[in-house]
Amino acid sequence: MSYRIGIDLGGTKIEVIAISDDSSTLFRQRISTPQGNYTATIDAIDKLVSLTEQTLSEPALSVGVGIPGAVSPASGLVKNANSVCLIGNRLDVDLSNKLQRSVKIANDADCFTLSEACDGAGAGYSTVFGVILGTGVGGGICVNQQLLSGPNAITGEWGHNPLPWLKDSDRNNRPCYCGKTDCIETFLSGPGFEKSFSSHYGKHLSSDQIWSRAKQGNDALADTHLYLDQLARALASVINILDPGVIVLGGGLSNQGRIYQELPALLSQYVFSDQVDTPIVKAIHGDSSGVRGAAWLS
């Protein structure tokens, strides 16, 4: 039996999965992430890999790890990670030494995209743009089931482009943690969406609560309309550049059915084409896409 191990290294949990060559899940386990402790995080991953191989009674073909950041091609150090204890470390080298094998590392949004391109909602399309709409806004690009990467290791980071075609209703001038203002992430992330509602009505509700209120046709309806229009503008800029075969959405906000009902018509207002045929689909593997994609890294 041959299989691959994937690790999803998140800020609150570390998950391992073992996948066979036919995409079957052979083993899966989740533990809490040691908070702020880099060495303990390395040890925790080592224990999960050992547990997996002991359970399946043979070593894995490969190990891939998805992280909330990226490895800098210039320095080899982790950058742009919201798990700050990873930043500035040679994670790939340290894991390879600990596990005594080669380890491939990719951004968690890239892993999500790879999973959906290989055997998810993007399977069968030559070009897949994967989108994360959650606490942050990220993305990845797969061409022929291979991750596209560039010299800066930031392929797919559409969340840190400015929201295009700003309108008065956007309530802009939003600072982003990256140091710029009005990044797409500040509008389309869960916290950004909640901030829009709060600034409009003076009260804080969760994203799910806002969408639920909108179903009743009350004050939140305008804010969900605005969110969908902002999403259309942001994705139109991607379509105008990449023209992907399909766009796959993941993250908590992707669970709203209205996105798939209303977004196609809104896109036609912004995409530079007489007709927009780009399918916008929901991820098949959901929260499992990240860890599955890590397994498919090699």
Say if residue 147 is in the same domain as residue 233. yes
The number of distinct structural domains making up the chain is: 2
Neighbour count for residue 171 (Cβ, 10 Å) = 13
Cβ(280)–Cβ(249) under 8 Å? yes
My answer on whether 129 and 187 are in the same domain is yes
Mean pLDDT of the 266-270 span: 97
Q: How far apart are CA 246 and CA 86, in angstroms?
A: 32
Shared domain for 102 and 135, answered yes or no, is no
Q: Are 102 and 250 in a shared domain?
A: no
Of residues 285 and 201, the one with the higher pLDDT is: 285
Amino acid at 201: Y
Whether 135 and 24 map to the same domain: the answer is: no
Residues 87 and 220 in one domain: no
**What is the CATH number for 138?**
3.30.420.40
* pTM recorded for the entire structure: 0.92
Residue range 16-50, pLDDT digits in tens: 999 998 999 999 999 999 999 999 999 999 999 99
Give me the amino acid identity at 222: A
Q: Specify the pairing of strand 280-282 against strand 246-250.
A: parallel
pLDDT in tens, 57-96: 999 988 999 998 999 999 999 998 878 899 999 999 999 9
Q: Do 151 and 234 share a domain, yes or no? A: yes
pLDDT at 11 over 90: no
Q: What is the pLDDT of residue 171?
A: 83
Domain extent, residue 22, equals 3-113+288-295
CA distance 277 to 87: 40
Same domain, 14 and 60: yes
Q: Are residues 129 and 274 in the same domain?
A: yes
Average of per-residue pLDDT across 177-196: 94
